[in-house]
């Protein structure tokens, strides 16, 4: 029975460490190394390990020298035809005519500029491939977006595009596949690698974009995305690669939201904490996505709606259990600001209106801090819809209970009581003084009555303003309603 093999995956192989972990860079062997060469190199590395001398990279300027573990893994990779083929694709090939390759010699000396110039002068299919590898490796190793870094990336993509479109190169790779004669490498392997190469190259930048955005380097993340879009590869391919790169982040939003929901369900009384924690974690992910995608990108809009929508099933059970409408309002306001589409925002606004209404009547309107105490509410009478005709007056009236705490009520009670008592004493003293013939003193006391009344009226102003500013009162006032139980002059 024939054995089914998984197809070679270039996308899985590619990554930011593509060249640093390349088996040929680590071992120093050339891409035409034979099995005997590999055995000999493995023996040299074992001897070096026993003597305590490390291996040196084949190209000193492309990464640090490898450690013993890396060299052992590299020789194992070279014994696997599939892994070896992928590493060959991303390493330097010698001239195909068997002649000396000045570019390869320059690489061994660590003179990358000389190697580049040699291949530019040659201009063969293999030389173009080597220039693509060289500029790509140098761009990754440079790790900065200065003028040199941007130039390296631009040239790397330009050379790789030429490789993708060069039928001669892929014929060479197909010949190499036949030479390896491994059942996992089929006649269609070279063509499949050719089709995957743009995705594999772009995925390197996509992963770096996600990594740098997660590290707070949004500028570098944006540079990588810009490079992808200016790479010359199809825009649809760029979008596909970006979606795949950020898929784990969008999935993490769903996982975090479900975790918060389960926490609230298990303990609704303490549901605010996991909800705030989810919002903090999810906002960080949204910041990452915003640094990678345009503001109207469907993936970003969907992620924002996902975050906002996950808040509601957490807030409702918490608010119903605790009556903490202040926290519920704050959470819903935060979620509403995140929502991207009208449908999600409208659903949040409905619940937000309810939460604000409950908060309005559950908090003292005067101090804005203490919980409202229903028996202490200030009953404000109002009348409206006055109709006069045929000698009769008709009107409607209502009582608006302005929420107040016991402390604010008692403060006003004692203040009003003290003022009334003081006025009564002053008036009584004034009459007694007049009766005793001391008119000037009596006038002074009555003056004090006047001043006290004025001061009491002024200091009572904030209370009256607070009552007038109560939203249901303002709403009725806008409709023409007045203060009092009935219109003036009506018995």
Residue extents of the structural domains in the chain = 10-233, 240-362, 374-483
Average pLDDT rounded to a whole number, residues 72-92: 90
Query: Judging by DSSP bridges, how do beta strands 378-389 and 392-402 pair with one another?
Result: antiparallel
Give the DSSP H/E element, type plus range, for residue 130: helix 125-142
Side-by-side strand order, sheet with 392-402 = 392-402, 378-389, 482-483
Q: What is the pTM of this model?
A: 0.70
Instruction: Inform me whether the pLDDT recorded for 421 exceeds 70.
Output: no
* pLDDT of res. 322: 92
Q: Name beta bridge partners: 389.
A: 392
pLDDT greater at residue 329 or residue 452: 329
Q: Name beta bridge partners: 482.
A: 383
Q: What is the mean pLDDT of the chain?
A: 84
- Taking the C-alpha atoms of residue 404 and residue 457, their distance in angstroms, rounded to an integer, is 21
Cβ neighbors of 308 (< 8 A, separation 6 or more) are: 335, 336, 338, 339, 340, 344, 345, 348
Instruction: Inform me whether the pLDDT recorded for 71 exceeds 90.
Output: no
35-66 pLDDT, tens per residue?
887 778 767 766 655 555 555 545 555 656 66
Average pLDDT rounded to a whole number, residues 2-18: 71
Nearest to 332 by CA among 320, 313, 342, 322: 313
* pLDDT of res. 51: 56
Give one word for 186, left, alpha or beta, with left for phi > 0 and alpha for psi -120 to 50.
beta
């Amino acid at each position: 029975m024939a054995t089914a093999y998984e197809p070679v995956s270039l996308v899985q192989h590619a990554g930011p460490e593509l060249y640093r972990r390349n088996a040929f860079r680590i071992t120093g062997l050339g891409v035409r190394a034979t099995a005997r060469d590999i055995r000999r190199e493995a023996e040299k590395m074992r001897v070096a390990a026993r003597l305590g001398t490390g291996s040196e990279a084949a190209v000193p300027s492309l990464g640090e020298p490898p450690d013993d573990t890396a060299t052992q893994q590299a020789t194992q990779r070279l014994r696997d035809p599939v892994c070896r083929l992928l590493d060959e694709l991303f390493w330097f090939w010698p001239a195909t005519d068997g002649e000396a390759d000045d570019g390869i010699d320059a690489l061994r000396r660590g003179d990358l500029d000389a190697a580049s110039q040699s291949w530019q002068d040659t201009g063969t299919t293999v030389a173009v491939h080597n220039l693509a590898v060289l500029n790509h490796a140098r761009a990754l190793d440079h790790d900065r977006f200065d003028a040199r870094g941007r130039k390296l990336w631009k040239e790397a993509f330009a050379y790789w595009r030429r490789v993708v479109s060069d039928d001669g190169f892929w014929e060479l790779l197909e010949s190499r596949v036949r030479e390896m004669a491994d059942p996992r490498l089929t006649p269609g392997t070279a063509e499949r690698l050719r089709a995957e190469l743009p995705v594999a190259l772009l995925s390197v930048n996509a992963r770096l974009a996600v990594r740098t955005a997660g590290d707070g380097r949004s500028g570098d993340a944006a540079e990588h995305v810009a490079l992808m879009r200016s790479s010359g590869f199809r825009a649809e391919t760029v979008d596909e690669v970006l979606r795949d790169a950020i898929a784990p982040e969008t999935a993490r939003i769903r996982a975090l939201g479900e975790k918060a929901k389960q926490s609230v369900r298990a303990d609704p009384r303490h549901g605010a904490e996991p909800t705030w924690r989810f919002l903090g974690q999810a906002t960080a992910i949204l910041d990452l996505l915003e640094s990678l995608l345009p503001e109207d990108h469907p993936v970003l809009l969907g992620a924002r709606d996902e975050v906002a929508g996950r808040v509601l099933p957490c807030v409702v059970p918490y608010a119903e259990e605790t009556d903490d409408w202040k926290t519920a309002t704050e959470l819903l306001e935060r979620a509403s600001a995140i929502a991207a589409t009208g449908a999600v925002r409208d659903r949040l606004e409905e619940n937000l209106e309810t939460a604000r209404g409950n908060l309005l009547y559950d908090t003292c309107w005067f101090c804005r801090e203490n919980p409202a105490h229903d028996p202490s509410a200030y009953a404000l009478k109002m009348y409206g819809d006055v109709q006069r005709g045929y000698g009769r007056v008709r009107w409607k009236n209502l009582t608006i209970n302005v929420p107040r705490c016991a402390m604010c009520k008692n403060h006003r009670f004692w203040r009003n009581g003290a003022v009334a008592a003081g006025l009564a004493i002053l008036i009584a003293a004034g009459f007694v003084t007049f009766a005793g013939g001391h008119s000037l003193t009596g006038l002074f006391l009555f003056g004090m009555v006047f001043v006290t009344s004025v001061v009491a009226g002024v200091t009572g102003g904030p209370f009256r303003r607070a009552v007038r500013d109560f939203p249901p009162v303002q709403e009725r006032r806008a409709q023409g309603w007045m203060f009092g139980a009935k219109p003036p002059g009506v018995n």
